[in-house]
Structure 1
Amino acid sequence: MNIKSAVKIEKSFYGTTIDGKQVDQFSLKNEGGIEVYIITFGGRITAINTADKNGKLENVVLAFNNLEQYEKKNPFFGALIGRYGNRIAKGTFSLKGIEYILAKNNGENNLHGGLKGFDKMVWKVENVEESTSFVSLKLSYYSEDMEEGFPGNLKTTVTYTLNSNNSLDVLYEASTDKTTVINLTQHSYFNLSGNFAQLIEDHEVEIDADKFVPVDASLIPTGELTSVENTPFDFRTSKAVEIAINGEHEQLKIGGGFDHCWVLNGKGYRSVAKAHHKESGRVMEVLTDQPGMQFYTGNFIDGTLPAPNNGVYAKRSGLCFETQHFPDSPNHPQFPDTTLEQGEKYATKTTFKFYVNG
Structure 2
Amino acid sequence: MSTVIRVSPFGPGSLITLKPHGNLEVTLSTLGASVYSVKVRHPSKGWIEVNSHYNRYEEALEDCGTYIGMTVGRFAGRVSNGTFTLDGKKYYTDKNMGAHTIHGGKAAFDKKQWSYRVLHQPGELVGVEFSYVSPHMENGFPAEVQCLVRYTILDRQPDALKMEYEANVTDASPAPATIMNLFNHCYWNINGIPAENETKKGDKERWAHAPQVTNLLLRLPNSSTVADTDGSAIPSGEIVPVSGTPLDFQTTKRVGKDILQQEALKRSPPGFDHPYFIDGYTPLTSKAEKANPKQYKKEILHAEVQSPISGINFKVYSTFPTMWVYSANNMKENASGERGERFRRYSSLCLEPQYPPDAANHAAFKPQSVVVRRGEPYYESITNVFTVADAPSRL
Judge same fold: TM > 0.5, yes or no. Answer: yes
Summarize the Cα distance change of 1:256–1:41 in structure 2 as closer, same or farther, 3 Å threshold.
same
5+ residue gaps, structure 1, are 17-22
Moved more, 98-107 or 77-86: 98-107
Report the equivalent of 1:243: 257
Summarize the Cα distance change of 1:236–1:138 in structure 2 as closer, same or farther, 3 Å threshold.
same
Out of 370, 378, 392, the residue aligned to residue 338 of structure 1 is 370
CA contact (8 A) 1:107 1:218 kept: no
Q: CA deviation at 1:100?
A: 0.8
Report the equivalent of 1:86: 77
Report the equivalent of 2:308: 278
1:356 aligns with 2:363: no
1:40-74 Cα distance to aligned partner (Å, 9 max, x none)? 01111111011236242121111111100011033
1:194 aligns with 2:192: yes
Inter-partner Cα distance in structure 1 for 2:130 and 2:350: 22
CA contact (8 A) 2:75 2:103 kept: yes
TM-score (norm 1): 0.92
1:68-88 Cα distance to aligned partner (Å, 9 max, x none)? 001103310100011011111
1:162-190 Cα distance to aligned partner (Å, 9 max, x none)? 23421000010000142100001100100
Paired AA for residue 189 in structure 1 = Y
CA contact (8 A) 2:269 2:330 kept: no
Inter-partner Cα distance in structure 2 for 1:204 and 1:304: 24
Inter-partner Cα distance in structure 2 for 1:142 and 1:132: 31
5 Å-filtered alignment, 1:180-259, equals 180-195=178-193, 196-207=209-220, 208-247=222-261, 249-253=263-267, 256-259=270-273
5+ residue gaps, structure 2, are 194-208, 282-297, 391-395
Q: CA deviation at 1:110?
A: 0.2
Out of 98, 112, 126, the residue aligned to residue 107 of structure 1 is 98
Aligned residues: 347
RMSD of Structure 2 on Structure 1 (CA): 1.9
1:291-345 Cα distance to aligned partner (Å, 9 max, x none)? 000000001112558579x983111100101110100001012213201111111
Q: CA deviation at 1:218?
A: 2.6
Inter-partner Cα distance in structure 1 for 2:15 and 2:267: 39
CA contact (8 A) 1:64 1:306 kept: no
Inter-partner Cα distance in structure 1 for 2:308 and 2:122: 34
What secondary structure is seen at the aligned counterpart in 2 of 1:194?
strand
1:259-304 Cα distance to aligned partner (Å, 9 max, x none)? 1100012233121111110121001100001100000000111255
Paired AA for residue 319 in structure 2 = D
Report the equivalent of 2:132: 141
Inter-partner Cα distance in structure 2 for 1:307 and 1:52: 29
Out of 330, 333, 337, the residue aligned to residue 300 of structure 1 is 330
Q: CA deviation at 1:31?
A: 2.4
Report the equivalent of 1:27: 17
What secondary structure is seen at the aligned counterpart in 1 of 2:234?
coil
Report the equivalent of 2:164: 171
Out of 42, 51, 61, the residue aligned to residue 61 of structure 1 is 51
Report the equivalent of 1:7: 3
CA contact (8 A) 1:64 1:307 kept: no
1:132-162 Cα distance to aligned partner (Å, 9 max, x none)? 2420101000000000100000000011002
1:125 aligns with 2:138: no
Out of 37, 40, 43, the residue aligned to residue 30 of structure 2 is 40
TM-score (norm 2): 0.84
What secondary structure is seen at the aligned counterpart in 1 of 2:256?
helix
Paired AA for residue 247 in structure 2 = F
Paired AA for residue 238 in structure 1 = T
